[in-house]
Structure 1
Amino acid sequence: MNVSDQMPNMRSLLPTFRTALESFASSTSSFQILRSVPPTASNPPKTLYVLDSSFNPPTRAHLHIAVTAILNDEKARIEPVKRLLLLLATQNADKAPKPASFEQRLIMMSIFAEDLVRSVQEELHDNQEGAKGLVVEVGVIKSPLYLDKTAVIEQSGQYGEANGGPEQVHLTGFDSLIRLLDTKYYPPHHTLHPLEAIFSKHRIRVTKRTGDKWGGRGEQDAYLKTLANGERENEGAKREWVTKIDLVDNRSENEEIISSTKVRNAVKDGDSQALSRLVTDGVKDWILEQKLYLDE
């Protein structure tokens, strides 16, 4: 399906997502899958990639993180169908989110999911099994913290038996790793001990984020070495956790930094060329059609 063919289908999904969000907000459910691309059932995965973001909007940086993880994760168990979950936290669903509503973000996530499947198919065009070997799901969750999200997904039974299921590989930026390993998020004892629930079963694939306040490549490598050297054991961390953290470099030194903020600024500036560099064609067309981010 090309970009123009997507639009009528996506317009019809707006009220569907709006109703689904209202129902989810008032329910006791903590996690729900709202859409699957392609919409076909598959066996429970051995590895579940989780890309958790505000998707406001989804960008080509998200695309690159997801595609490289799916294609280059040497630690993943071999299986014919890869599964990736695009996850949106709605802990403030009772308030009007800005600058794009949750239902608009879910539409963009759905368009992005189709673009992502196409991108992987193009990379694997010589492998017929690989060309149909990716399922991308769009889901919502109420939990705001990584620790809680991992447990909720695991206990949901959506990916196999409750309290079991696949190895989760959370795809994050370096800034998210900093927050994950910050004791202030784990009251009342403010220790990293609770993270054993993640690192005993799951992995974190972290994309270096250079060129901003997080420092350069060397500084980010050094941060991870403090964990490996036992320098954070007094905070409850374990040295062996470092084997569950893959720090990857997905951007060349002079490559443009892509962010959702840059996308929103490009829209306000009417810079179509910049917008094409920052988001996929499908997401761009939806932003322009719906006139998103003009009033931010």
Structure 2
Amino acid sequence: MRRSPSSPLPPGFTSKALGSLQRLQQGLSTLELVHTPHGHWPYRPAQFHMGKSCPLRVSVLDSSFNPPTLAHLALARSSPRGPTDQAVSASEIDYDARLLLLSVRNAEKSLVPGDATYVQRLEMMYLLSLDIGNNVAVAIIDQPTFVGKSTILHSFFQSKLASLHTPLAAGMGALHRPKLTFLLGSDTLVRVFSPKFYASEEEMTRLLQKFLSPDGQDCQIICAHRPNVTIDEEVERRALNAYRKFVDRERIHFIDISDDEQTLSSTQVRVTVAAGKDDWKRLVTDLVANYIIENGLYV
């Protein structure tokens, strides 16, 4: 794998990413943390030492990252949304932690010739994390559906927090399950509410009710508009009917990213690079652009 000697990847990142991928593909685990900013993640360092009794708020950006774009960056930087009838407190201005999540089994996408490998995507995700801010982790998961991802993530966080909590049990209150917010584009939201990815429409309704209900997994969705994405009108109509009630219950929130960012796509980057044009560099961060060039991706 080609890489510049000045690459900002931390020592051992590539070998750890490869080992994580192999464990996942061998069925030895369903989720692997490839990078955390410190040993106490998902807590912030100050939270860990002082104790935090309320649930951690964790955003999850799940994508193919082939490659990460400025649209991914905008979504990852987005802030939590509180109930419309309540003021958002200072503690809710931002998430406690952020997670960039790569699925090795995507409900509609698989590796094709010319794609970045999973390890290369994980490396680019790390580079993206450097532009997001503090307390961002990178992970890989073997689960195609969001409901399944949420189940695995909750199990992971339960074990992770318990292991971190043990030394400070006397000073920290009862453990709370983290509140997960999934960040996605409107095209992905349509897939989440598409019956073809479930055993039946009834099964979809049951699973999504559990996924988004406060008395279930208590997840929320923040969705960015993507007006340039073409979606079958009938599929979009059925999905809208399915998720409207969750919008009304404030389990799904819509946000606007900039006009430029909402039109960006990984496909656009790959096609433009392959065409030999240079304007693709404006679609990604400088670190990701340098990585694509240094590793000869998408040519």
TM range (shorter): 0.7 to 0.9
Report the Cα distance in structure 2 between the residues aligned to 1:239 and 1:102, rounded to whole angstroms. 33
Report the Cα distance in structure 1 between the residues aligned to 2:249 and 2:16, rounded to whole angstroms. 42
Q: Kindly tell me: are residues 89 and 249 of structure 1, through their superposed partners in 2, closer, same or farther at Cα, counting changes over 3 Å?
A: same
Q: Does 1:199 align with 2:212?
A: yes
C-alpha deviation, 1:62, in angstroms: 0.4
The TM-score, its normalising length taken from structure 1, stands at 0.74
Query: Which of 251, 270, 274 pairs up with 2:276?
Result: 270
| Structure 2 residue aligned with 1:63 | 73
RMSD: 3.4
Report the Cα distance in structure 2 between the residues aligned to 1:202 and 1:267, rounded to whole angstroms. 37
Q: Does 1:107 align with 2:107?
A: no
- State whether residues 58 and 95 of structure 2, in contact with CA within 8 Å, keep that contact through their aligned partners in structure 1: no
Report the Cα distance in structure 2 between the residues aligned to 1:39 and 1:265, rounded to whole angstroms. 39
**Alignment map for 1:214-225 (pairs within 5 Å):** 214=231, 224=240
- State whether residues 81 and 135 of structure 1, in contact with CA within 8 Å, keep that contact through their aligned partners in structure 2: no
Cα deviation digits, residues 24-67 of structure 1 (max 9, x gap): 32243211211023666434862110000000000000001111
The TM-score, its normalising length taken from structure 2, stands at 0.74
Task: For 1:154, give the aligned amino acid.
Answer: H
C-alpha deviation, 1:266, in angstroms: 2.3
- State whether residues 65 and 207 of structure 1, in contact with CA within 8 Å, keep that contact through their aligned partners in structure 2: yes
SS of the residue corresponding to residue 88 of structure 1 reads strand
Report the Cα distance in structure 2 between the residues aligned to 1:227 and 1:81, rounded to whole angstroms. 24
| Structure 1 residue aligned with 2:253 | 246
Task: For 1:265, give the aligned amino acid.
Answer: V
Query: Which of 81, 95, 102 pairs up with 1:88?
Result: 102
Equivalenced residue count is 257
Cα deviation digits, residues 239-278 of structure 1 (max 9, x gap): 67642000112233x7771110111122223333x22210
Cα deviation digits, residues 46-101 of structure 1 (max 9, x gap): 2110000000000000001111x23x634577268621110011138xx9664111
Report the Cα distance in structure 2 between the residues aligned to 1:65 and 1:82, rounded to whole angstroms. 16
C-alpha deviation, 1:110, in angstroms: 0.6
Query: Which of 170, 181, 184 pairs up with 2:196?
Result: 184
Unmatched 5+ stretches in structure 1: 118-133, 229-237
**Alignment map for 1:1-296 (pairs within 5 Å):** 7=7, 9=9, 13-37=13-37, 41=41, 42=43, 43=48, 46-67=56-77, 69-70=78-79, 73-74=81-82, 78=91, 82-91=96-105, 98=113, 99-117=115-133, 134-156=134-156, 157=158, 160=161, 165-188=177-200, 189-200=202-213, 201-214=218-231, 224=240, 227-228=243-244, 242-252=249-259, 257-272=263-278, 274-294=279-299
SS of the residue corresponding to residue 35 of structure 2 reads strand
Q: Kindly tell me: are residues 9 and 183 of structure 1, through their superposed partners in 2, closer, same or farther at Cα, counting changes over 3 Å?
A: closer
Q: Kindly tell me: are residues 179 and 277 of structure 1, through their superposed partners in 2, closer, same or farther at Cα, counting changes over 3 Å?
A: same
Range that drifts further, 12-21 or 137-146? 12-21
Unmatched 5+ stretches in structure 2: 164-174
Report the Cα distance in structure 2 between the residues aligned to 1:153 and 1:256, rounded to whole angstroms. 27
Report the Cα distance in structure 2 between the residues aligned to 1:208 and 1:6, rounded to whole angstroms. 37
SS of the residue corresponding to residue 140 of structure 1 reads strand
